[in-house]
Every structure is written in structure tokens, then in C-alpha cells.
Amino acid sequence: MSRNTQLNGAGAQRPGRDDDICPVCKSSRYLNPNMRFLVNPECYHKMCESCVDRIFSQGPAPCPIAGCARTLRVQRFRQQTFEDLKIEREVDVRRRVAKAFNKQESDFETVRAFNNYLEDMEVTTFNLLEGIDVAATEKKLAAYIAMNAASISQNNAKATQERNAQNAQTAAHKEQALLNRAAATRADVSSLAEHEEAQKEAIDAIANGGKDQAGQKVVLKKSTARRTAAEKARDKQRQQQQQEQQQQQQQQQQQQQQQQQHQEQPVDDDDSDLYKIEGLKAVVQPAPEKPYDPFGGISYTPSYYTLQSHYEHPWLDRARTDPGMLAGGYDLREYYQRTMLEAFAGLGCFIDEEMGEKEHAGEDPMVATEGAAMAAGGSAMAASELR
């Protein structure tokens, strides 16, 4: 071992180590520095890109690694992300299970029910990672996905919308910060230019003998540009808040539409017994929105008659064929409606009863009693005088 290697501690890695050799063709990265290794999530066996093209370009084929009989496809090969393949496999399994178990704490009635749900998710992940009852665990996971297909898709869409809204909000804040910084920079440059110009004018005024004019000159401490930039920033922030509120309303409408469109898939009774979630809140479907009624539910349909589309009358027959009446857009149905309304308008009105009710409603009983007493006393006095 050379002196440089000893000084560097571990030293350079030996060429042709096991991680750099393809297990299929035995090619080494030491001889081919541009060689890339790919893995397939079916078995996570690593092989070089040349072997993948050579073996799987014609279609699905079994894994060439000894002892592995899984059928692999070229579309699923990808470049390795983590150096340790165990970590690569664990990340994929956790991502797959978390995509199915995507309920939130707000979907459960109690915290204990949500913790039990998380425990079931972790047990499922652990069994798949450690190879414990893999067939039963896969069947249980498939039954859960079939039972909750609609809620899973809704939660995934909701998470995607929240993530997009968060990204849009972060980008808007960054853009606003850049605009504020640029506006502040422009304001500082403008203020500095104004200050320099004021100093120059003051020096010129002193040099010309106009000391009073130089003393009376006022230099603004805050420039108009800075105030304008602040007002623009507030206006833009207000617009962003309005846009966020509109996005939230659109998200709620989309969620309601998804709840109406997605229906739970039918599952066999045997599969439904495999996985059950306890403690979930009852999902209350929102009532469908009624069509907009500008009259607020008030019906203007006549109750005393039924308006017909055609009435027989000689004058009406002439009006139907008279170009002088039809040329201006006159419609005989308006005449039908107005005539029938005038004919039946007073049938439900009784003027005597309405006037009597108004008179009785406007009188005070005490005032009426006192007036009657006074009238009775006055009539008695007049009768005694006549006698």
C-alpha cells in the first residue's frame, strides 16, 4: 500500500467490486464507466442496461438471476434511487400501502379509532416487508382497496388539490417577495437620486446667492414610489386571498361531484369480512342544490282558470293573419293572458269584508267605549231639555 493511500485513510476503492459488476453478464464498471444499473420492483434484482435491452426487449421474460422465477417487463425497469436495495424496496412498499390507507384523523370519531387504523396500516407494511403471510396480507389489502375504492380516489384527489394549492401559494409568496424587494430597491434608488438632486440644487442656489431659497426647499423623506409600491403589494395580497377563496369553493364543489359520481364497488361477502374499519364517521351526502328560482318559490300559475294556446273568435282570426299586427312582433298569447287576468282578477276579493276588518283593526276598544258613553250621555241631556 502506498504512502498516499495510508494518509487518506480508507483509500481508493478497489476496481471491480461486487456493487459494480452485473450479475448477469459479469461486466464491470471499471471497464465500462458509462454502464448503468436498473432494478425492477417485482424482485429488485440489479442488472445492467445492456442485459435489460437484450433479454426483455422482445417481451416479458423470467428474471435471469438464479432462483428467481418472477416474470419481468421492460417498462417497469428503472434506475436505482437508494444505494441499499432493502431501503429501495421498503420505500416502494410503504408508498404503495400509504396510497391505499389514505384516511385522515378527521374521518374518525375518536383518536383511538384513528390510532388503530394506523396500527393496521403498519402491520400490513411490516408483513409485506418481512415476508410474513404475504398471500393473506395481499388478499386483505386487495379487499380493502375494493371496499374503499371511491373514498381512496376522493382522498387522493383531495390530497393532490391541497398539494397544488400549497405549491401555488408558496410560488405566489415567493413572487410577491421578489416584487416587494424590487419595489423597495427602486424606491431606494429613486430616494437616493432625489436626495442627490436636492443637494445639488441647494449647492447651486448657495453658489448663486439664493440662501433663502435653499433654506426653504423641502426634501421628502418618503418617496411617492415607495407608497405606491406598498399600495400595489396590498392590492395584490387582497387579490391572492380572493383567488384562494375561489379555489377552496371550487375544491368543495369538485368533492361533492366526486361523491355523487363515485359509487362503492360491490365486494363479495367473503372479501368484506377480511378487512373492516371501526370508528369511521358516518358520511352525510349533501342535498342536491335546487335550480335557481328568481321568484323565491312563489307560484304565478292562475288558480281560477287555465290559459289555452288558442281561442276561437272572428276578431282573433283576423288578428292572426293581419300583417299590420304581426309585423311588430305582437303575440296574441299576451292578449289572452291579459284578458283572462282582467276577467278573473276580482273573483277572490270581497271589498266589504276587507274594509270591515280594516275599520275594526284600526279602532281602540277603550276609545270606542268612551265615545259610546259620551254619545249616550249627550242624547239623554238633549231628551231632558226637549221635555
Helix (H, G, I), strand (E, B) or coil at 47: strand
Q: How far apart are CA 38 and CA 55, in angstroms?
A: 13
The angle at the Cα of 350, spanning 348 to 355, to the nearest 5 degrees, equals: 140
56-111 confidence digits (pLDDT tens): 988 899 999 888 888 999 888 998 888 888 898 899 999 999 888 888 888 888 88
Look up residue 165 and give its three cell numbers: 394549492
The helix (H) or strand (E) run that includes residue 359 is: helix 351-362
Q: Dump the DSSP string for 283-321.
A: PPPPPPPPPP-TTTT-----SS----S----HHHHHHHH
- pLDDT at position 361 is 61
pLDDT at 360: 64
Angle CA(88)–CA(89)–CA(94) in degrees, nearest 5?
105
pLDDT tens profile 290-346 = 888 887 778 778 878 888 888 888 888 888 888 887 777 788 888 888 888 888 887
Instruction: Map grid coordinates 416474470 to a residue.
Output: 71
Q: How far, in Å, CA of 171 to CA of 178, rounded?
A: 11
Closest residue by Cα to residue 142 from 41, 264, 275, 279: 275
Tell me: pLDDT of 356 over 80. Answer: no
> Sign (positive/negative) of CA torsion 246, 247, 252, 253?
positive
**Closest by CA position to 172, among listed 213, 92, 218, 233:** 233
Average pLDDT over residues 161-188: 87
pTM (predicted TM-score): 0.47
- What stretch of H or E contains 37? strand 37-39
Q: If residue 71 lies in a helix (H) or strand (E), which one and from where to where?
A: strand 71-72
CA gap 268, 301 in Å, rounded: 52
- Residue 210: the pLDDT is 53
pLDDT for 11: 43
